[in-house]
Structure 1
Amino acid sequence: MPGFLLHLGATVMCAHAGQAMPVVPNPRVLVSGQPTVPMNSLYVVAGCTLPPPAAANGPCVTAQYITAATRVTSNGLPLLLIDSQAICAPSGTPLLPTVTQTRVTGM
Protein backbone atom coordinates (compact mmCIF):
# COMPACT_ATOMS: atom_id res chain seq x y z
CA MET A 1 0.00 0.00 0.00
CA PRO A 2 1.25 3.51 -0.69
CA GLY A 3 2.21 5.69 2.23
CA PHE A 4 4.17 8.82 3.08
CA LEU A 5 7.96 8.45 3.36
CA LEU A 6 9.40 8.66 6.88
CA HIS A 7 12.10 11.25 7.44
CA LEU A 8 14.41 12.34 10.24
CA GLY A 9 11.89 14.86 11.60
CA ALA A 10 8.97 12.40 11.73
CA THR A 11 7.39 11.71 15.11
CA VAL A 12 7.84 8.00 15.81
CA MET A 13 7.00 6.52 19.21
CA CYS A 14 7.04 3.11 20.82
CA ALA A 15 3.76 1.68 22.10
CA HIS A 16 4.61 3.00 25.59
CA ALA A 17 5.14 6.67 24.58
CA GLY A 18 8.93 6.52 24.15
CA GLN A 19 10.42 8.73 21.42
CA ALA A 20 12.21 6.81 18.64
CA MET A 21 14.92 8.28 16.39
CA PRO A 22 16.78 6.67 13.47
CA VAL A 23 20.49 6.00 13.99
CA VAL A 24 21.48 6.24 10.30
CA PRO A 25 19.26 8.52 8.18
CA ASN A 26 19.79 8.64 4.41
CA PRO A 27 21.20 12.05 3.35
CA ARG A 28 20.97 11.26 -0.40
CA VAL A 29 17.17 11.60 -0.54
CA LEU A 30 15.54 14.56 1.19
CA VAL A 31 11.85 15.20 1.82
CA SER A 32 10.76 18.49 3.35
CA GLY A 33 14.47 19.29 3.55
CA GLN A 34 15.23 16.35 5.84
CA PRO A 35 16.88 12.97 5.19
CA THR A 36 14.71 9.92 4.59
CA VAL A 37 15.30 6.67 6.50
CA PRO A 38 16.38 3.36 4.89
CA MET A 39 15.05 0.03 6.13
CA ASN A 40 18.38 -1.06 7.63
CA SER A 41 18.57 1.92 10.02
CA LEU A 42 18.17 0.93 13.64
CA TYR A 43 15.97 3.17 15.79
CA VAL A 44 16.88 4.06 19.38
CA VAL A 45 14.05 4.62 21.86
CA ALA A 46 14.21 7.06 24.77
CA GLY A 47 11.63 7.58 27.49
CA CYS A 48 9.75 4.27 27.22
CA THR A 49 7.43 3.85 30.21
CA LEU A 50 7.28 0.03 30.22
CA PRO A 51 8.41 -1.19 33.67
CA PRO A 52 11.70 -3.08 34.18
CA PRO A 53 11.85 -6.90 34.21
CA ALA A 54 10.31 -7.48 37.64
CA ALA A 55 6.91 -6.22 36.39
CA ALA A 56 7.32 -6.54 32.60
CA ASN A 57 10.06 -7.42 30.12
CA GLY A 58 11.75 -4.02 30.28
CA PRO A 59 11.52 -0.68 28.49
CA CYS A 60 11.97 -0.44 24.72
CA VAL A 61 15.59 0.35 23.88
CA THR A 62 15.92 -0.22 20.13
CA ALA A 63 13.66 -1.05 17.21
CA GLN A 64 14.19 -2.53 13.76
CA TYR A 65 11.83 -2.18 10.81
CA ILE A 66 10.82 -5.43 9.12
CA THR A 67 8.80 -4.00 6.21
CA ALA A 68 9.46 -1.03 3.93
CA ALA A 69 8.68 0.33 0.48
CA THR A 70 8.81 -2.21 -2.32
CA ARG A 71 9.26 0.27 -5.17
CA VAL A 72 11.22 3.17 -3.64
CA THR A 73 14.89 2.65 -2.85
CA SER A 74 18.01 4.70 -2.26
CA ASN A 75 21.52 3.25 -2.41
CA GLY A 76 19.86 -0.12 -3.06
CA LEU A 77 17.91 -0.06 0.22
CA PRO A 78 14.13 0.28 0.57
CA LEU A 79 12.96 3.48 2.25
CA LEU A 80 10.58 3.47 5.22
CA LEU A 81 6.94 4.45 4.86
CA ILE A 82 4.48 5.61 7.51
CA ASP A 83 2.80 2.18 7.33
CA SER A 84 6.04 0.17 7.59
CA GLN A 85 6.17 -2.29 10.51
CA ALA A 86 8.83 -2.34 13.24
CA ILE A 87 9.54 -4.44 16.33
CA CYS A 88 10.98 -2.95 19.53
CA ALA A 89 13.52 -4.83 21.64
CA PRO A 90 13.15 -6.25 24.23
CA SER A 91 9.39 -5.72 24.47
CA GLY A 92 8.38 -6.97 21.00
CA THR A 93 5.87 -4.14 20.58
CA PRO A 94 5.56 -1.97 17.43
CA LEU A 95 6.78 1.52 16.65
CA LEU A 96 4.01 3.99 15.86
CA PRO A 97 4.78 6.77 13.37
CA THR A 98 2.27 9.53 14.09
CA VAL A 99 3.48 12.60 12.19
CA THR A 100 5.48 12.75 8.97
CA GLN A 101 5.77 14.89 5.87
CA THR A 102 2.77 14.76 3.54
CA ARG A 103 4.26 15.61 0.14
CA VAL A 104 6.05 12.43 -0.97
CA THR A 105 4.47 8.98 -1.09
CA GLY A 106 6.01 5.65 -1.89
CA MET A 107 4.87 2.13 -2.46
Structure 2
Amino acid sequence: MGDFLIQIGATGMCPHGGPLQIVPSQVKVLLSGQPAATASDQFLIIGCAFTTPVPKPQPCVTAKFLPAVKVLLSGTPAVLKGGGLICQSAEQIPQGPPSVTVTQLKVTGT
Protein backbone atom coordinates (compact mmCIF):
# COMPACT_ATOMS: atom_id res chain seq x y z
CA MET A 1 0.00 0.00 0.00
CA GLY A 2 1.21 3.51 -0.79
CA ASP A 3 2.05 6.38 1.50
CA PHE A 4 2.73 10.09 1.16
CA LEU A 5 6.11 11.27 -0.12
CA ILE A 6 7.93 13.52 2.32
CA GLN A 7 9.53 16.85 1.55
CA ILE A 8 12.41 18.72 3.17
CA GLY A 9 10.08 20.73 5.45
CA ALA A 10 8.32 17.64 6.83
CA THR A 11 8.14 17.44 10.62
CA GLY A 12 9.62 14.32 12.17
CA MET A 13 11.47 13.13 15.24
CA CYS A 14 13.49 10.33 16.74
CA PRO A 15 11.91 8.04 19.39
CA HIS A 16 13.24 10.38 22.11
CA GLY A 17 11.77 13.59 20.65
CA GLY A 18 14.82 14.93 18.81
CA PRO A 19 13.72 16.84 15.69
CA LEU A 20 14.48 15.45 12.24
CA GLN A 21 16.23 17.72 9.73
CA ILE A 22 16.62 16.68 6.10
CA VAL A 23 19.56 17.90 4.01
CA PRO A 24 18.45 17.64 0.37
CA SER A 25 20.52 16.09 -2.41
CA GLN A 26 18.20 17.35 -5.16
CA VAL A 27 16.23 20.57 -5.53
CA LYS A 28 14.47 20.08 -8.88
CA VAL A 29 11.40 18.11 -7.78
CA LEU A 30 9.22 20.10 -5.38
CA LEU A 31 6.36 19.07 -3.08
CA SER A 32 4.40 21.94 -1.54
CA GLY A 33 7.14 24.28 -2.75
CA GLN A 34 9.96 22.36 -1.03
CA PRO A 35 12.42 19.78 -2.40
CA ALA A 36 11.14 16.20 -2.18
CA ALA A 37 13.18 13.88 0.05
CA THR A 38 15.15 11.09 -1.63
CA ALA A 39 17.09 8.08 -0.38
CA SER A 40 20.37 9.94 -0.97
CA ASP A 41 19.46 12.82 1.38
CA GLN A 42 20.99 13.16 4.84
CA PHE A 43 18.47 12.65 7.64
CA LEU A 44 19.90 14.30 10.76
CA ILE A 45 18.62 14.29 14.34
CA ILE A 46 19.53 17.41 16.30
CA GLY A 47 19.02 17.53 20.07
CA CYS A 48 18.05 13.94 20.95
CA ALA A 49 17.39 13.70 24.69
CA PHE A 50 18.62 10.08 25.03
CA THR A 51 21.65 10.42 27.33
CA THR A 52 22.16 6.89 28.66
CA PRO A 53 24.24 4.88 29.33
CA VAL A 54 25.81 7.39 31.71
CA PRO A 55 29.52 6.85 31.02
CA LYS A 56 29.02 7.28 27.25
CA PRO A 57 25.71 8.79 26.06
CA GLN A 58 24.39 7.54 22.70
CA PRO A 59 21.84 10.10 21.41
CA CYS A 60 20.32 9.70 17.95
CA VAL A 61 22.20 11.64 15.27
CA THR A 62 20.95 10.12 12.00
CA ALA A 63 17.85 8.40 10.66
CA LYS A 64 17.50 5.90 7.84
CA PHE A 65 14.43 5.44 5.66
CA LEU A 66 13.40 2.68 3.29
CA PRO A 67 13.35 3.98 -0.28
CA ALA A 68 10.22 3.90 -2.43
CA VAL A 69 10.11 1.01 -4.90
CA LYS A 70 8.25 2.64 -7.78
CA VAL A 71 8.97 6.38 -7.46
CA LEU A 72 12.28 7.81 -8.67
CA LEU A 73 13.22 11.50 -8.49
CA SER A 74 16.09 12.31 -10.86
CA GLY A 75 16.97 8.60 -10.79
CA THR A 76 16.99 8.31 -6.97
CA PRO A 77 14.22 6.58 -4.97
CA ALA A 78 11.84 8.90 -3.12
CA VAL A 79 11.22 8.54 0.62
CA LEU A 80 7.76 7.74 2.02
CA LYS A 81 6.18 8.97 5.27
CA GLY A 82 5.82 5.47 6.69
CA GLY A 83 9.27 4.33 5.57
CA GLY A 84 11.13 5.19 8.78
CA LEU A 85 13.55 2.36 9.36
CA ILE A 86 15.90 3.24 12.24
CA CYS A 87 17.58 6.09 14.10
CA GLN A 88 21.24 5.60 14.98
CA SER A 89 23.83 7.08 17.33
CA ALA A 90 27.18 8.41 16.10
CA GLU A 91 28.56 4.87 16.52
CA GLN A 92 25.69 3.41 14.41
CA ILE A 93 23.94 1.89 17.44
CA PRO A 94 20.21 1.39 16.64
CA GLN A 95 17.90 3.56 18.75
CA GLY A 96 14.42 2.91 17.34
CA PRO A 97 12.35 4.06 14.37
CA PRO A 98 11.89 7.73 13.44
CA SER A 99 8.41 9.12 12.92
CA VAL A 100 7.22 11.71 10.41
CA THR A 101 4.21 13.52 11.84
CA VAL A 102 3.55 16.31 9.32
CA THR A 103 4.13 16.19 5.56
CA GLN A 104 2.40 17.16 2.33
CA LEU A 105 -0.85 15.29 1.65
CA LYS A 106 -1.17 15.34 -2.14
CA VAL A 107 1.47 13.03 -3.65
CA THR A 108 1.66 9.33 -2.79
CA GLY A 109 3.96 6.53 -3.87
CA THR A 110 4.91 2.92 -3.19
Residue 22 of structure 2 corresponds to residue 22 of structure 1: yes
Q: Indicate how the Cα distance of structure 1 residues 57 and 35 shifts in structure 2: closer, same or farther if over 3 A, else same.
A: same
One-letter amino acid matched to 1:48 = C
Asked if the contact 2:8–2:24 (Cα under 8 Å) also holds between the matched residues in 1, the reply is no
State the partner residue of 1:33: 33
Q: Identity across aligned pairs (percent)?
A: 38
With structure 2 as the length reference, what TM-score do the two structures score? Answer: 0.86
For 1:48 and 1:19, locate their aligned partners in 2 and report how far apart those are by CA, in whole Å: 7
Worse-superposed segment, 38-47 or 97-106: 38-47
2:59 is paired with a residue of what secondary structure? coil
Q: Which has the higher strand share?
A: 2
Are 1:21 and 1:43, in contact at CA under 8 Å, matched by a contact in 2? yes
**1:100, CA displacement in angstroms?**
0.4
SS in structure 1 opposite 2:70?
A: coil
Distance 1:50 1:28 in 2: 36
Residues 52-105 of structure 1: CA deviation (Å, up to 9, x unaligned): 43278511111222x121111012111001011232112511110011000111
Q: CA RMSD in A?
A: 1.7
- Contact 1:40–1:64 under 8 Å retained in 2: no
Q: Which residue of 1 aligns with 2:87?
A: 88
- Aligned pairs, number: 106
Shift of residue 12 of structure 1?
Answer: 1.1
Residues 1:103 and 2:106 aligned together: yes
- Residue 11 of structure 1, CA deviation: 0.4
In the superposition, the TM-score normalised over structure 1's length comes to 0.88
Q: Which stretches in structure 2 are left out of the alignment for 5+ residues? A: none
Gaps of 5+ in 1: none
Indicate the SS of the match to 2:83. Answer: coil
Partner of 1:79: 78
Change in Cα spacing, 1:56 to 1:17, as seen in structure 2 (3 Å) is farther
